[in-house]
Structure 1
């Protein structure tokens, strides 16, 4: 198995503890200083497997960049920070950070923290994927019901006949029934 690529963005450059510890555990490391860094652009160019931020406190720009990262190249983001403020913690969670560790840069715990953050991230991704799939199925169901209603109104079918007609149309054209429902709705809109 190839090593995971970790992007470390470090506000404390004099301390190489995080970088050295992760290298010891076999991670492939890219370590960059924090100053005026476009975090989302760097992540999109490097495509790391994990992003680790070692900062005093996460800034609004940093949290916005994490949101952008989660939308374009979703990866686990771990923040080691000094800020224990409840509002900061709430903002960090809303940004989609997988782990926020306060005063916890202990070499014995780093590997475990990263493993837990990755597991938590994967679980959240699975839930997001399931939600997306369910929403898509619901939208398709609504389209099918609308197309059935149009067929019932225009052809005088009952609900069962309308569904079977829609299904037959989809099978004859070798397309999904949801796609056929979109076509029926589009055609009905054109004929208005």
Structure 2
């Protein structure tokens, strides 16, 4: 992880913390530690720059993280890391209960090694989160498939006066004959049955 985009709204950039000590800005610190950093304060610029970044560092109050994170992830999936400075932390007290997805936290007081390790673990957290989301999507798809198959078995059992096991065998054979997935055959049966029911 070498290339970072820092999201920093005009409010954050004009905070006394950065105007009094410009060396505490995330861009300055990250560049000092050898990272290539670009900044964005508008969504339009962020959407362009995010394609060149390995991660997004969000120098924002917690209340703004969810909205920005959602917009960035629509453009490109990448690790989201919160820059927890004194000003962003103090502006975030009322948003403590928000359900915000971040993969890590950085602070201005971190040493170079601490920052490198925090970014490393943030990257790992991101990949674990993506894997979990992928597994969850697969499970939801399997549940949806199971629903169609169960509905089709019920219809076949009722119409052909057969057991559900026999109805499943029928679906399986039909799928093999048509070279389709069982769920596709089941979905067709359910939809035809529903159309017939509505036409009556």
TM-score, normalization by structure 1: 0.79
Segments of structure 1 that go 5 or more residues without pairing to the other structure are 24-28
If each structure's helix is expressed as a fraction of its own residues, which one has the higher value?
A: 2
CA contact (8 A) 1:143 1:181 kept: yes
Give structure 1 regions of 4+ aligned residues with deviation exceeding 6 angstroms: none
1:78 is the counterpart of 2:81: yes
TM-score, normalization by structure 2: 0.76
CA contact (8 A) 2:50 2:72 kept: no
Segments of structure 2 that go 5 or more residues without pairing to the other structure are none
1:63 is the counterpart of 2:66: yes
Q: Deviations over 1:68-89 (max 9, x none)?
A: 3335522111112221666545
Alpha carbons of 1:180 and 1:141: their partners in 2 closer, same or farther (altered >3 Å)? same
CA contact (8 A) 2:55 2:78 kept: yes
Distance 1:58 1:164 in 2: 57
CA contact (8 A) 1:70 1:96 kept: no
Of residues 162, 165, 179, the one that matches 2:170 is 165
Corresponding position of 2:116 = 111
The number of residue pairs the alignment matches comes to 178
Corresponding position of 1:126 = 131
Secondary structure at 1:191's aligned position in 2? Answer: helix
Larger Rg over CA atoms:
2
1:19 is the counterpart of 2:17: no
Over the residues paired in the alignment, what is the CA RMSD in angstroms? Answer: 2.5
CA contact (8 A) 2:46 2:72 kept: no
Alpha carbons of 1:8 and 1:95: their partners in 2 closer, same or farther (altered >3 Å)? same
The alpha carbon displacement at 1:186 in A equals 0.8
Corresponding position of 1:26 = none
CA contact (8 A) 1:80 1:105 kept: no
